[in-house]
Amino acid sequence: MEQIIIQGVTFNVPTPYAEGHALRANEANALNQLLHENLRNNFASKVKAVRGEDANRNLDADEVQSLQEALDAYAAGYEFGVRAVRSSSGPSLNAIDREAMSLAKAAIKAALRKKGYDVKSLDKGDLE
């Protein structure tokens, strides 16, 4: 049992879920929904950055593909309840996150090159 506070009142609540718990269909659906919401919320800024000033601009196929690859990499390393620690030098990344960031940067660079941009002329922060 654990305790939670609801409107200033402390209540005892069960903790039925533990590592190895076999999920029922409704529990799996709830976790998948939460995962999708978290991915959507955490990735929205990436889409916004690609879209630029025009929030209604439709992305071209290359932009969507590049974002999909970056989202796939992010989702592959996503863990519930793990928050990225940020410092002035950027996020602190584990091995999976570093690889995901590397793949995302490569995809973005390829898309920029395809559109004729000189990737080397960009500031490092622009790719972050």
Model confidence at 116, in pLDDT bands (50, 70, 90)?
A: confident
- Helix orientation angle between 61-77 and 95-114, rounded to the nearest 10 degrees: 180
Return the pLDDT at 36. 95
Predicted structure pTM score = 0.58
What is the mean pLDDT of the segment spanning 72-87?
A: 79
